[in-house]
Amino acid sequence: MRFRKALRFGAFALLVIGFLFLSVSTFKAQGPSVSATEETLTNKITVTGEGVAKLKADTVEITLGVQSDGKTAQEAQGNNSVLMNGVIRALKNMLTPDDRWETVFVSLTPQYDYSEEGKGQLIGFRADNSILITLTNIERAGEIIDACVSAGANTISSIQFSLKDVEKIKLDAIKLAMENAEGKANSALQAIGKSKTSVEKIDVSDAYYPPIPYALEAKGYGAAPATPIEPGMMEVRVSVTVTYTF
């Protein structure tokens, strides 16, 4: 009997000791923790730079055609077709494999006379047919226009210059803008005895400015000297905003 009591007491004592050991271990493992946050302050400077790249146009687009009138729709359209076919034949004889043309506008509209008390009186029909000619040799633009007018073209809507590779001139302008921004940053930092260490951010915006197209009047133009066509300069203007660290 005494042996059983001693055994029970020993077991109870072991349980108490084990509980105390676990409590101390847990306290040590989950004891107070210390965290430290270190902030590194970086000096920054933000500047803007501009770059402008110009290049002479190497492509020209000419929109011209034939306008014809007639008392009936059939007459107006028939007159127009005869003249336009002559224009296209003359054009095809002069174009190179690098040039191209396409029809861009065809219309047939009634014509009214509103002179009598505002009442519209049908007086005939007007047919229009326009084509877009794209030339890679700008020097031939005047020659092509003269040939088309001689063949029957009587409207020239516009002449538009452009570049085959606009992206190349954009890249040139971006390079100039970055050089401009870097020069500004260097000058500002040198004034306070600092120098830039890296680029943190770059924002680029660009704009493409082709020459404004101009229109020519073809009527009475056949006996004139060869038409002078002088291409303008393509201009790309780029602005960059750059943030440097120092």
Residues 170 and 112 in one domain: no
Q: Cβ distance 142 to 227 under 8 Å?
A: yes
Q: Cβ distance 238 to 204 under 8 Å?
A: yes
Poorest-pLDDT segment among 17-26, 39-48, 63-72, 114-123: 17-26
Is 148 within the bounds of a domain? yes
Whether the pLDDT of residue 149 is over 90: the answer is: yes
Across the chain, what does the average pLDDT equal? Answer: 81
What are the start-end ranges of the H helices in the chain? 2-29, 73-92, 141-151, 166-190
Residues 64 and 158 in one domain: yes
Query: What pLDDT is recorded for position 219?
Result: 44
Tell me which range, 4-18, 106-120, 169-183, is most confidently predicted by mean pLDDT: 169-183
Single out the residue in 102, 131, 162 at which a domain terminates: 162
Span 216-232, mean pLDDT? 56
Is 139 within the bounds of a domain? yes
| Segments forming the whole domain that contains residue 233 | 42-58+165-246
Span 207-219, mean pLDDT? 57
Residues 179 and 239 in one domain: yes
The first and second tokens of residue 115, run together, are: 């002179």
Residues 192 and 236 in one domain: yes
> Could you read off the pLDDT of 43-80 as tens digits, one per residue?
999 999 999 998 888 899 999 999 999 999 999 999 99
Q: Full-prediction pTM beyond 0.95?
A: no
Residues 66 and 149 in one domain: yes
Residues 90 and 113 in one domain: yes
pLDDT band at 102 (very low <50, low <70, confident <90, very high): very high
Domain with 145 in it: what CATH number?
Answer: 3.30.70.2970
Residues 63 and 157 in one domain: yes
Give the residues across from 45 on adjacent strands: 244
- Residue 219 class from Cβ within 10 Å (0-12 exposed, 13-18 middle, 19+ buried)? exposed
Query: What pLDDT is recorded for position 120?
Result: 84
Query: What pLDDT is recorded for position 127?
Result: 98
Name the domain count of the chain: 2
